[in-house]
Amino acid sequence: MTMAAKQQRTEEILTAAPVVPVMVIESVAHAVPLARALVAGGLPVLEITLRTEAALDAIRAILADVDGAIVGAGTVMNPAQLHQVAKLGCAFAVSPGSTPALLTAAEEVEMPLLPGGVTASEVMALLDHGYRFQKFFPAEPAGGTATLSSLASPIPQVKFCPTGGITPALAPSYLKLANVITLGGSWMVPKALVAAGDWAGIERLAREAAGLK
């Protein structure tokens, strides 16, 4: 797949919903019912972060058993992880930043990568590699909407998925920016509801997030 085709696929994925749930799954037993609740609530694009021992098995389970889920792997830090999640069948991968090794590995797989860029130099460097879509992380600590709107003027060809510290109250101010295509958040998957198996509660939160504009 060419870089242009990968970017087109990235755009299709990121426009599927206004919010991408960022999931830290501690137990494989939670993976399928959690994903089903999010998809049922209107959030089909799921980022399962590689921050837990259960992450890879959770990805396998969701890919096998959750219809309509567009499964991505988050916190992909190195080429080995990128190749691993590509082989699993993930639709996309997300990295908080980028390294030369990771970008080289991304050229070797069919799966698109959403790398992170925050400063103008980082964003420009990724754009030189063809990345019109980038993660903006950590969004709130990095200046939030003020920083993003400042980047829009000199680098309008890049659109972002801001993630990090975004709440339901802050989300609309991000989504109205011309250079924000979607955003990442974890408020619809609170640990207490996951631990309690309150999938109906999570579906309700997902539905509210899916209605954000």
The answer to whether 85 and 76 are in contact (CB under 8 A) is yes
Backbone angles phi, psi at 49, to 5 degrees: -80, 145
Instruction: Compute the distance between CA of residue 191 and CA of residue 187 in angstroms, rounded to an integer.
Output: 9
Whether 87 sits among the annotated catalytic residues: the reply is no
Catalytic residue among 6, 135, 159, 203: 135
3-state SS class at 133:
strand
- Which of 11, 12, 47, 159 is catalytic? The answer is 47
Alpha-carbon separation of residue 129 from 123, 126, 163 (angstroms): 10, 5, 22
Q: Is 107 a catalytic residue?
A: no
Place of tokens 């959403």: 114
- Alpha-carbon separation of residue 151 from 14, 92, 156, 180 (angstroms): 20, 25, 7, 11
Give residue 7's identity as a one-letter amino acid code: Q
CA of 22: how far to CAs of 50, 77, 123, in Å?
11, 16, 22
Buried-state track 77-96, b at ≥16 Cβ within 10 A, e below 16: eebebbbbbbeeebbbbbbb
Which sequence positions are flagged as catalytic? Answer: 47, 135
